[in-house]
Amino acid sequence: MQNTGVVQAVAPARSSSTPIARALVLALGTALFAWAGSAQAGRSCENKPLTADVMAKGLNLALRTSQALDAEFKKNGTQVVLLARQGQDLSKYELQYSHYGWAYKSAEGPWRVAHKLNECGTAGGHVYRQGLGEFFLDDLWRYEAVIQVPTPAVQQALLKFLTAPTVLRLQSEPYSMISYAWGLKYQQSNQWATETLAAAMEPAAIQNRAQAQTWLQARGYEPSTLIIRAFSRLGGRMTAANIAFDDHPNDKRYASRIETVTVDSVTQWLQRAQLAAPVRTVQ
């Protein structure tokens, strides 16, 4: 199989009677299992062993999320949602969720999540299709998920775009965790997902990241502004390959104002722009 940078998930071979086992089937039902220790986004990149407790918590959250999404599909025909997790404590930046992707399903198949992950310790990042179990299978800061349901028109556009090779259209490297929201030098995970939304809405007109960002600006998207002092910026750049600040405009960078794409800014904008319903949590 040609390496496209996308992990294709497949349906599990059999089910089980217990919640943990059913969730484990969801997690392991992937053709290529990209373990979270080698790829991450919005969560710690520490080399920690996977404990039974961490696995149980992650897989139970995946199961509860699957049940919530299945109920939404059965009731409203929902096939695409914004799905976010809490991988890190971002409260000092007044943020809740660290990472999001687009969860989707066909009429017959299970839910998949299309999202971008950073290769730990590097400036590389790739787009993956994963099962719900794998999406949550890590030592998360808080075992809570957020779901936001787009309008039917947005869902239809995203489903077509995410299930085709176009899913990789705006994938770009190198990766920086705090890449400038309106820059092209780096790209982080939430930025890829947001630019991909733009491309899905206008697939013929939007062929590159600059065009996607123009679309987002025209529709009122506003990134989060993080206050990151010079000392922290210097330390981050010297010790981590996946953190860079040199793409931010000098006037904003020297004022310690780092504008980047966050889950919170995206969910608030989607609701404000009437592109999606209010967020819901799964605990």
- pLDDT given for residue 109 in this prediction: 85
Which among 255, 150, 136 is positioned nearest to 194, based on CA atoms? 150
Which residue did the predictor score with more confidence, 198 or 232? 198
β-pairing verdict for 112-119 and 224-227: unpaired
- pLDDT given for residue 47 in this prediction: 63
Q: Are 118 and 40 in contact (CB under 8 A)?
A: yes
Residue 103, classed as helix, strand or coil, is: strand
Q: Is residue 23 part of a domain?
A: yes
Q: Is residue 11 part of a domain?
A: no
What pLDDT digit, counting tens, does each position of 51-109 carry? 888 889 889 999 999 999 999 999 999 999 999 998 777 878 788 899 999 999 977 78
Q: Is residue 9 part of a domain?
A: no
What pLDDT digit, counting tens, does each position of 5-31 carry? 454 333 333 333 344 434 344 433 332
Q: Are 269 and 217 in contact (CB under 8 A)?
A: no
Q: Is residue 5 part of a domain?
A: no
- pLDDT given for residue 72 in this prediction: 96
Which among 32, 28, 26, 24 is positioned nearest to 7, based on CA atoms? 32
pTM: 0.83
Q: Is residue 277 part of a domain?
A: yes
90 Cβ neighbours under 8 A, 6+ residues apart: 96, 97, 98
Long-range contacts of 262-265 (CB under 8 A, 24+ apart): 262/95, 262/97, 262/190, 262/223, 262/224, 263/42, 263/84, 263/95, 263/96, 263/97, 263/98, 263/99, 263/100, 263/146, 263/190, 264/95, 264/96, 264/97, 264/224, 265/221, 265/222, 265/223, 265/224
The number of domains in the chain is: 1
Q: Is residue 4 part of a domain?
A: no
Please state the separation of Cα 212 from the chain's center in Å: 17
Q: Is residue 8 part of a domain?
A: no
What pLDDT digit, counting tens, does each position of 206-243 carry? 999 999 999 999 999 999 999 875 544 443 444 467 88
- The one-letter amino acid at 261: V
Residues 142-151: what's their mean pLDDT?
94
Domain that holds residue 81: 19-282
Q: Is residue 12 part of a domain?
A: no
